Amino acid sequence: MTANRQLREALVHSQRLDAVGRLAGGVAHDFNNLLSVINGYTEILHHRLGEESNVRKELHEIHQAGQRASSLVHQLLAFGRRQKMAPRVIEINRLVHEHVDILSRLLGEHRSLELELGETTGNIHVDPTQIQQVFLNLVLNARDATKKSGRISVKTQNATLSGERNRRATDPKPGEYVQLTVSDNGTGMDATVLKTLFEPFFTTKSEGSGTGLGLALVYGVVKQSGGHITVASELGQGSTFDVFLPRTSEPVSRVHGKLTPLPVTGGRETLLIIEEDNVVCKMAEGILSADGYDVIP
């Protein structure tokens, strides 16, 4: 009976997250179009009025707010698993090493960062930028949960998940994974908090200290990458987040050099714009027409 109750609770939880994800993804796309218009017209006005305009400061503030809003939209899209991904094969250990310096500064001198990276840890096929956000969010959450003299541990290793764990649709598929573990000795969480931990806008931080989208982004990126995340925590005992990402035998992808700048055309061409949102289409038409292009919307 206990096992059946746990399965039912897990099913209800996964269905709620899925429903919230669909809602967040749909709303995010609509907001993204509106923000594109706001940011686009702000840039047009800034260009037309010039640096000496007496409203330059106000335009800058509008644009900064629009950029922050766009960042929140991307986090909602990540939770809804509807963002575009640019996956390639990377080493998880290299990604961790590349961020040790910045994390040490963010944690401060009163908290310690301990690394235990497996020498034989395999490669993963993911979007490096998105997995970087996952890693940074988990470590920064651990920082916020610890007091001075707190300890944060990052561990990587290979993991094999057997079919016995694949008891429901929300469980990870059996196979070979790379496991990234971030743990701390902070305040920990109770069972009530754990149930809603990954939902958008849920946060235990004080008002103004967080958006409640950090762990929602983590959940969405991990799921969209074909992975799985688990968390174990108790009040006063700290928390441990385990991220499982499918392991690949492919070699690390080569990173190509920067693209050379495109030549300036001087706006001589005729361009056809096809865009279902009339406001976005009108904005794009205005930008291109101002650059001298002959535009057919």
Q: Please report, for the domain that includes residue 12, its CATH number.
A: 1.10.287.130
Mean pLDDT by 10 residues, the chain (297 residues): 67 58 65 78 78 78 78 59 72 89 80 91 88 86 85 94 62 87 91 77 53 74 88 90 94 65 66 83 79 86
- Taking residue 68's Cβ as centre, other Cβ atoms within 10 Å add up to 12
Residues 224 and 95 in one domain: yes
Domain that holds residue 6: 2-79
Domain boundary residue among 53, 79, 105? 79
Q: Give me the pLDDT at residue 81, please.
A: 47
Q: Is residue 20 part of a domain?
A: yes
Residues 144 and 45 in one domain: no
198 and 177 in contact (C-beta within 8 Å)?
no
Backbone angles phi, psi at 234, to 5 degrees: -140, 145
Residues 98 and 233 in one domain: yes
Does the predicted TM-score (pTM) go above 0.85? no
**By C-alpha distance, which of 155, 160, 156, 157 is closest to 172?**
160
Residues 268 and 217 in one domain: no
Residues 32 and 131 in one domain: no
Q: Give me the pLDDT at residue 243, please.
A: 95
Could you write out the DSSP letters of every residue in 121-176?
A: --EEEE-HHHHHHHHHHHHHHHHHH--TT-EEEEEEEEEEE-GGG--STTSPPSEE
262 CB-near residues (< 8 Å, 6+ apart): none
Q: Is residue 34 part of a domain?
A: yes
Residues 62 and 144 in one domain: no
Q: Is residue 253 part of a domain?
A: no
DSSP 8-class letter at 199: S
Q: Please report, for the domain that includes residue 154, its CATH number.
A: 3.30.565.10
31-41: burial string, b at 16+ Cβ within 10 Å, e else: bbbebbbbbbb
Residues 42 and 73 in one domain: yes
> Residue 285: exposed, middle, or buried by beta-carbon count in 10 A (0-12, 13-18, 19+)?
middle
Q: Give me the pLDDT at residue 196, please.
A: 75
Residues 24 and 41 in one domain: yes
Residues 160 and 242 in one domain: yes
Q: Give me the pLDDT at residue 163, please.
A: 67
Q: Give me the pLDDT at residue 123, please.
A: 94
Instruction: Look at the chain and count its residues.
Output: 297
